[in-house]
Amino acid sequence: MILISRHPSMMSFFLSALVACFFFQLVAAHMSIFTPAMYGWMNWPDDPQSPLVNLPFDQWWFRGYMDLPTGGQVEQLTAGGVFTAEIACNVAWTKYGARTSELGPRDACPSGDNAGPYHSSLDPTEPLPDINGVSGCALAIADVDDVKKVTMNDLTVFSVNHTCVYRRETDFQIPAAMPKCSGSKCICVWLWLANYGQANFYMTGFDCAIVQSQTNLPAIGTPQRALWTGKYEAVSGPKLPIYAYNDGSTAEWFGNDARPGYHASYGFQDGAQDDIFTGSTVAASASTNVEAGNSSLSITQNISAQIQSEGSSRNSEPPSRNAAVQQRALKSHRRSQSKRSRPI
């Protein structure tokens, strides 16, 4: 039994401690990969592990870090091999930082025996969090060597880990047929969506290159928008990242029990995405194409309308959208798309 004093100062202290504990748990669940190949390396204007929520396009796209240099490294991804990424709530807890304590095998943050998986349940203190509750992480690639030229339509998801975020060191399998970059390097991104708690979106960009000994390999096909299999037929072949919870987002909202993520219900198999090289794509339609126009706006408007009448079964809702802000962001995105690349 816990006895709580009625003395105002004691009550204030107790409440402050609870708030601090809850705040730490929330912050501890904010994650990013950390590598010297990422943009803004060790010179971030904010926390690179903080979630991207309800932001205009130029602030959530590559976190707005496209003008910031990397640490000079290019991650070498070997076709048919495994890329082990370090995922943590702060760079200090990776091999690149100065740890102040030892971490357990599951720890991506110094949170003791109850670490990982993250955003997998409403109770972060349960001894065995439900691994089935995680939403999965993904790596996507664009065969472009200038990060400023990458558009929403250029990125293709090529590797998925269904049990992510769970461990600090997380393996991503690289498809054996992955072709080399046509230029000096490619642009890669790490992606994650929170499955419980606040509906968060994470995106970390980094320079990458494919190590491949084979030649005459098929090119990556045109990626399509991943769709929830609870309403649509599963999309096979190459797929775009899931862009969610920000202006210009393309993910539809079907409720807290059907949040978007990198798992089977959105057509993503665990491991290397070996179906991206066929070149075949789902027939073009309004439901599968990503367009920086009215389709994106209608999706975000539908999300806003739906969450007004829906209870928060997972302790949170996607952020509200402001139509005027959306219009400005989408107009800005259209201009950037017309300058940098053609839409699908």
Tokens 């209608």 belong to 298
- What is the model's pLDDT at position 260? 92
10 domain-assigned: no
* Residue 218 identity: P
20 domain-assigned: no
13 domain-assigned: no
- What is the model's pLDDT at position 336? 40
Query: Is 224:288 a contact under the CB 8 Å cutoff?
Result: yes
C-alpha 314/C-alpha 310 separation (Å) is: 11
Q: How many CB atoms lie within 10 A of CB 323?
A: 11
C-alpha 171/C-alpha 161 separation (Å) is: 7
C-alpha 148/C-alpha 333 separation (Å) is: 13
317 domain-assigned: yes
5 domain-assigned: no
217 domain-assigned: yes
pLDDT in tens, the chain (344 residues): 333 333 444 333 323 332 333 333 444 468 899 999 999 999 998 889 899 999 999 999 999 999 999 999 999 999 999 999 988 888 887 888 866 555 555 566 655 544 544 544 444 455 555 556 577 999 999 999 999 999 999 999 999 999 888 778 889 999 999 999 999 999 999 999 987 777 889 999 999 999 999 988 999 999 999 999 999 998 999 999 999 999 999 999 998 888 899 999 999 999 999 999 975 433 333 334 454 433 333 344 334 333 333 333 444 455 443 333 334 444 444 444 333 333 32
315 domain-assigned: yes
Structure tokens at 188: 């890669």
DSSP 325-336: HHHHHHHHHHHH
Angle between helices 323-340 and 294-309 (to 10 degrees): 150
C-alpha 170/C-alpha 102 separation (Å) is: 18
Using the 8-state DSSP alphabet, how is residue 214 labeled? Answer: -
- Number of structural domains found in the chain: 1
- What is the model's pLDDT at position 68? 97
In which domain, by residue range, is 130 found? 28-340
142 domain-assigned: yes
